[in-house]
Structure 1
Amino acid sequence: MVPSLLFEVMLIFFLGIGSQWVAWRFRMPAIVVMAVTGLLIGPVFGFINPEEDFGSLYSPIISVAVAIILFEGSLNLSFKELRGLGKPVFRISTVGAFIAWILGSLTAHYIAGLSWAVAFVIGGLFIVTGPTVIMPLLRQAKLKPRPAKILKWEGIIVDPIGALLAVFAFEIIVYLTANDPDGTALIMFFAASMFAAVFGWLCGRAIGFIFERGHIPEFLKSPAVFTVVILCFTVADEIMHETGLLSVTAMGITLANMGISSVADMRHFKENISILLISAIFIMLTASLQIDTILEIFSPNIIGYVLLMMFLVRPLSIFLSTFRTGLTFNEKLLVGWIAPRGIVALTVSSYFATILLDAGYEDAEILTTLTFGLVFFTVIAHGFSIGWLAKRLNLSMEGRPGTLIVGSNKFTVELAKSLAKVNVPIIIVDRSWQKLKLAREAGVPFYHEEFLSEQTEHHLDTIPYEYLIAATDSNSYNALVCTTFMPEYGRTNVFKVSPYDKVSKSTEIVSKVGGRILFKHEVNLEDLIEKVDSGFVFRQTMITEQYSYKQYLDEKDEETVFLYIIKPSGKINYYSEEMRTVPSAGDIIVSLMPPNKEKAKIQARLTNEG
């Protein structure tokens, strides 16, 4: 046991984020690492049991965290994303959910041995996937936009629908089994669900109105949003349990489609909070399980139920609901396979297990075990298979990490050509059609639009590109681009050409903000273009055991500009004085070299051949 509750809180957050790091470092599914970590420190070694240690605070903490996670996910659901995907998303979220409910309930009754009443409750709940498990998988797998968007929308939209279906099924059971049936409870359920959706919409509109009118200062906007999210969830959930999820989802979608810039600015902060909460809550839930529950999931009826849910119920519901929706067979196959269950299923099932047992349904004792079995097996199976399957179905963007260059000029076009030669995905973005003439003539992929505009965000697929280079002739614009996209690409993957002026040695503010300075501080864009005009060439040099990096440095010309390193894995490391870049054997250095150096090498080669 840990020495104090404070120490336990620290340990939960530390292990949660540590699991995320291990997953990133070794390219493993984060939810798998978190689940295993929680099981080890909880039921296996008995270090903590959050459900017992937190007492009456345990359920409210989990509920609020789930509400914030679901809100953050729904804040990314812009209707503009649905261009061409509205039909399959709608079908999966309605027809597909209904088919999955019916088939899942039949499976629970005939395979898991549950009574009809309990089977229909748990069948409604198990249609959910949710952002807690889908988002980490999408982040890991790098799917193509269509299947990624479908899985994201389904996970967030169906989350509250599944919880409401479970509540609806329970109310129907109570109504049908009552000695004196009264439809009041059913009417209350539909009224509460309608109120939750409207209340969420009103909360979203109210926050948007206040932000647009400037009634809240910038430093209070994020705290205000989180406070209203908790208010929105709590009010709806107090009226009818589980309707709070519907309410926060409606609030998030409302804000996402109002086009408020300050909400977009907070998105990365809220995503960071969501990752922290997902990590902590997954550790808490798995650490609170009992060892008997874990052992029980390997019983034949539970394993049979899980296998049918994964290999029959899910694929069948997707294929039937997406008939004539324009999805390809491969897309249906991938979406039909990926359906990991997560936090919502675990938390809501424990609630229904309690109320069903209180209502006299003794077979509800198995609900927690059944839920954990489905969560554990789907998380493991889908977590490890999504990347492999996406590649097999040609639905993955995997490959060498690409580079997106903002600014079309002689240097960036030649840089793009050198990257294309080594099969690195590349694209040049510029708002000037005239400047893009160089890219067009060179056959370099390009996109004609203002990079910071909303249209670019919705029409330009940025998934293949892990690096961003701002290389326009405006230093302030380069700094703005880097500052805007640093949260998305990461601090070490965003670069800008040097803003320094060699004559005045300017240290203007744009040199201090946004992005690392590319190549050398003393070599700005004007110098790079001048070198290209002077005949400088892009040369590849491999470092080997016989030809070391030190020898390469000794032989290089003083005017040579180191551009980037290609690692044997295909990873690109761009040169920057702000980063330690030391090539090793097997690395290829690409540099911009003076033409006289290249001519000398050619002459020496001809002499040797002669």
Structure 2
Amino acid sequence: MFPSVLFEIMLIGLLGIGSQWLSWRYRMPAIVVMSVAGLIVGPFLGIMNPQEDFGTLYKPIITVAVAIILFEGSLNLNFKELRGLGRPVFRISTIGAFIAWILGSLTAHYIAGLSWAVAFVIGGLFIVTGPTVILPLLRQSKLKPRPAKILKWEGIIVDPIGALLAVFAFEIISYLTDNDPSGVSLLLFFAASVFAAILGWAFGRGIGWMFETGNIPEYLKSPTVFIVVIMCFTIADEITHETGLLAVTAMGMTLANMGISSVEDMRHFKENMSILLISAIFIMLTASLNIDTILHIFEPRIIGYVVLMMIAVRPLSIFLSTIGTDLALNEKVLVGWIAPRGIVALTVSSYFAAILGDAGYEDASIITTLTFGLVFFTVVAHGFSIGWLAKKLHLSMEGRPGTIIVGSNTFTVELAKSLIKAKAPVIIVDSSWEKLRKAREAGIPFYHGEMLSEQTEYHLDTTPYEYLIAATDYHSYNSLVCTTFMPEYGRTNVYKVSPYKQIDSDTNDIVNKIGGRILFGEEVSTEDLNQNIASGFVVRQTTLTDQYNYKQYVNERDDAAVLLYMIKPSGKIIFYAEEMKATPESGDIVVSLAPQDKKIQAKLENRRNGTNENGK
């Protein structure tokens, strides 16, 4: 044990964020890394046990985290986004969720041996996949747009529904299994639920109104929402237990559908806060397990339950709910297999384990074991199989990582052509139909719309693309695009063409602080690149070898040539940009915009002038 609780809090944060970083660095499911970290410092080495060390604070910490996580999930439920999702997503999120609940509850009762009340509570909870676990898998597997869209929106929609379903299931089943059932208690619960929903709506509308009227300064908006969420949850939960979850969900949905720009501005804060809470809570939960709980996971009834949930309940719910839709068989197979349960399921189940235990259900003690087993096995099985299965079913985006180019002009069209030649997905986005003419004539994929528009987020699938290049004629717009998409693509994958030739020296320091790494060097502007194309420059590929290394290539290349990007043997594309740290090696392909060979250029000139090689 540690000498102070403060040191333990520090270690929990360090292990949580460190696990997230390792999962990103080595492309592993974050839950697997956090599970291993928590188990090592907890039951295996006995270094800490947060449940014992924090004492009476442990349960409130978990409760607050659950409230924040559910609020963050419900803040994604914008009804505008649900309209264009089509029948498969709607069916899976409604009929499929209901079938999964019933089948999962029956499996929990007859296979895991749980009482009806406990079985139906966790049956409702386990329909949750959740964006916190499914989105990282989609990014690393590079699924085709349709199955990726289905899995993504199922996770977002069902995330808050599962917890609410568990709440209502607990109350209804408790009423039905009571020896002396009284309709008064059930009516009181439903009345309290209506009150909680109205309370959440009122808090959401109130915060939204204060944001819109400027009654809360910008620097206080995120902290205010954070505290109000806790207040909303606490008031509802103090009146009637378990209704706090409904209140914060209603609050999040209300804010999400008010169309307030401030809510979008807080997106990164709430995502960061959610990641921090999820990481810390998961370490706390796994470190608080004991060896007996872990050994129980390997009991036949637990293993049988987990296996049936994976190979029977999930596929059946998907196949039955999508009857009559246009989903192909291979899409049904993939979606029917991929359903990793995540941190939301584990944190909320821990909350219900305490509630059910206090209500006198002795078998509630097995909930944590059952949940941890389902979470761990599904994340490992689905996390490491999604890429392989997608390729087998021909549902993966093959080839190199793709690039979104914002701005259609002569240079970007040639750049897109070279990327297509390199077998890398590319798309040009522009709001001007006239400017897109060159891209259309060249047969390059394009999207006609405003990149910063809300509608673009719904209609442009960005799954195949890892890089974004802003290369319009408006440098302030390029910087705005880069700043907007930097959190999504990462600081090192967002680029803009140099603005320095068309700004004065007084604004250089401003440009340096705005998002987006500068492509090809500060001295190369969009205007220069377009002029180079007009004067006959061409895109060239040069393969480096042991006999012809990068140093030789640099020494022999034309001084006017512009280095564009490198293609590594692995298929990774590295654009030439400021602070580029990659070193070209043998086997790399260097792509540049260079003047034509003089002999070839002379032939073209002669052909244009109507003369032969001898000048006749």
Which residue matches 2:565?
564
Which residue matches 1:529?
530
Which residue matches 1:608?
none
1:75-474 aligned at under 5 Å gives the runs 75-85=75-85, 87-354=87-354, 356-357=356-357, 361-397=361-397, 399-474=399-474
Relative to 1, partners in 2 of residues 1:540 and 1:139: Cα closer, same or farther, differing over 3 Å?
closer
Q: Which amino acid in 2 is paired with 1:563?
A: L
Single out whichever of 126-135 and 373-382 deviates more from structure 2.
126-135
Which residue matches 2:578?
577
Q: Contact 2:112 / 2:302 at 8 angstroms: preserved in 1? A: yes
Q: Which amino acid in 1 is paired with 2:581?
A: R
Which residue matches 2:27?
27
Q: Which amino acid in 2 is paired with 1:317?
A: S
For 2:151 and 2:433, locate their aligned partners in 1 and report how far apart those are by CA, in whole Å.
Answer: 36
For 2:68 and 2:145, locate their aligned partners in 1 and report how far apart those are by CA, in whole Å.
Answer: 25
Relative to 1, partners in 2 of residues 1:488 and 1:372: Cα closer, same or farther, differing over 3 Å?
closer
Single out whichever of 561-570 and 200-209 deviates more from structure 2.
200-209
Which residue matches 2:516?
515
Relative to 1, partners in 2 of residues 1:95 and 1:243: Cα closer, same or farther, differing over 3 Å?
farther
For 2:484 and 2:573, locate their aligned partners in 1 and report how far apart those are by CA, in whole Å.
Answer: 22
Relative to 1, partners in 2 of residues 1:188 and 1:338: Cα closer, same or farther, differing over 3 Å?
farther
Relative to 1, partners in 2 of residues 1:349 and 1:17: Cα closer, same or farther, differing over 3 Å?
closer
For 1:104 and 1:454, locate their aligned partners in 2 and report how far apart those are by CA, in whole Å.
Answer: 37
For 2:234 and 2:396, locate their aligned partners in 1 and report how far apart those are by CA, in whole Å.
Answer: 40
Name the count of aligned residue pairs: 603
Relative to 1, partners in 2 of residues 1:553 and 1:383: Cα closer, same or farther, differing over 3 Å?
same
For 2:503 and 2:218, locate their aligned partners in 1 and report how far apart those are by CA, in whole Å.
Answer: 39
Q: Contact 2:282 / 2:347 at 8 angstroms: preserved in 1? A: no
For 1:478 and 1:280, locate their aligned partners in 2 and report how far apart those are by CA, in whole Å.
Answer: 37
Q: Which amino acid in 1 is paired with 2:593?
A: L
Q: Which runs of 5+ in 1 are unaligned?
A: 604-610
Relative to 1, partners in 2 of residues 1:145 and 1:268: Cα closer, same or farther, differing over 3 Å?
farther
For 1:565 and 1:401, locate their aligned partners in 2 and report how far apart those are by CA, in whole Å.
Answer: 13
For 1:599 and 1:508, locate their aligned partners in 2 and report how far apart those are by CA, in whole Å.
Answer: 41
Q: Deviations over 1:439-485 (max 9, x none)?
A: 12222222222222222222122222211111111222212222222
Q: Contact 1:126 / 1:345 at 8 angstroms: preserved in 2? A: yes
1:51 CA displacement: 1.1
Which residue matches 1:587?
588
1:524 CA displacement: 1.1
* 1:375 aligned counterpart, secondary structure: helix
Single out whichever of 92-101 and 553-562 deviates more from structure 2.
92-101
Which residue matches 2:542?
541
User: TM-score, normalized by length of structure 2?
Assistant: 0.91
1:274 CA displacement: 1.6
1:360 CA displacement: 5.1
For 1:576 and 1:122, locate their aligned partners in 2 and report how far apart those are by CA, in whole Å.
Answer: 51
1:509 CA displacement: 5.6
Relative to 1, partners in 2 of residues 1:235 and 1:532: Cα closer, same or farther, differing over 3 Å?
same
Q: Which amino acid in 2 is paired with 1:421?
A: K
For 1:555 and 1:600, locate their aligned partners in 2 and report how far apart those are by CA, in whole Å.
Answer: 19
Q: Deviations over 1:396-453 (max 9, x none)?
A: 3453111111111111111111111001111111222222221122222222222222
Which residue matches 2:610?
none
Q: Which amino acid in 2 is paired with 1:426?
A: V
1:238 CA displacement: 2.5
* 2:452 aligned counterpart, secondary structure: coil
Single out whichever of 110-119 and 469-478 deviates more from structure 2.
110-119
Single out whichever of 151-160 and 282-291 deviates more from structure 2.
151-160
1:355 CA displacement: 5.2
Which residue matches 2:607?
none
For 1:362 and 1:85, locate their aligned partners in 2 and report how far apart those are by CA, in whole Å.
Answer: 42
For 1:249 and 1:423, locate their aligned partners in 2 and report how far apart those are by CA, in whole Å.
Answer: 44
Q: Contact 1:341 / 1:379 at 8 angstroms: preserved in 2? A: yes
1:164 CA displacement: 3.8
Q: Contact 2:74 / 2:160 at 8 angstroms: preserved in 1? A: no
Percent identical among aligned pairs is 76
For 1:233 and 1:360, locate their aligned partners in 2 and report how far apart those are by CA, in whole Å.
Answer: 24
1:588 CA displacement: 0.7
Q: Which amino acid in 1 is paired with 2:543?
A: M
For 1:393 and 1:427, locate their aligned partners in 2 and report how far apart those are by CA, in whole Å.
Answer: 25
Which residue matches 1:607?
none
Q: Which runs of 5+ in 2 are unaligned?
A: 605-616
Q: Contact 1:235 / 1:244 at 8 angstroms: preserved in 2? A: yes
Q: Which amino acid in 2 is paired with 1:456?
A: T
CA RMSD in angstroms comes to 2.6
Relative to 1, partners in 2 of residues 1:64 and 1:310: Cα closer, same or farther, differing over 3 Å?
same
1:263 CA displacement: 1.3
1:262 CA displacement: 1.9
For 2:179 and 2:200, locate their aligned partners in 1 and report how far apart those are by CA, in whole Å.
Answer: 36
Relative to 1, partners in 2 of residues 1:216 and 1:144: Cα closer, same or farther, differing over 3 Å?
farther
Single out whichever of 94-103 and 441-450 deviates more from structure 2.
94-103
Q: Which amino acid in 1 is paired with 2:188?
A: M
For 2:496 and 2:400, locate their aligned partners in 1 and report how far apart those are by CA, in whole Å.
Answer: 21
Q: Which amino acid in 2 is paired with 1:263?
A: V
* 2:53 aligned counterpart, secondary structure: helix
1:334 CA displacement: 2.4
Which residue matches 2:553?
552
Relative to 1, partners in 2 of residues 1:194 and 1:14: Cα closer, same or farther, differing over 3 Å?
same
* 2:500 aligned counterpart, secondary structure: coil
For 1:274 and 1:557, locate their aligned partners in 2 and report how far apart those are by CA, in whole Å.
Answer: 51
Q: Deviations over 1:201-259 (max 9, x none)?
A: 22222222222222221111111221222222222222333332232222222222222
Relative to 1, partners in 2 of residues 1:601 and 1:551: Cα closer, same or farther, differing over 3 Å?
farther
Q: Contact 2:500 / 2:522 at 8 angstroms: preserved in 1? A: yes
* 1:85 aligned counterpart, secondary structure: helix
For 1:446 and 1:497, locate their aligned partners in 2 and report how far apart those are by CA, in whole Å.
Answer: 20
Which residue matches 1:475?
475
User: TM-score, normalized by length of structure 1?
Assistant: 0.92
Which residue matches 1:496?
496
1:307 CA displacement: 0.8
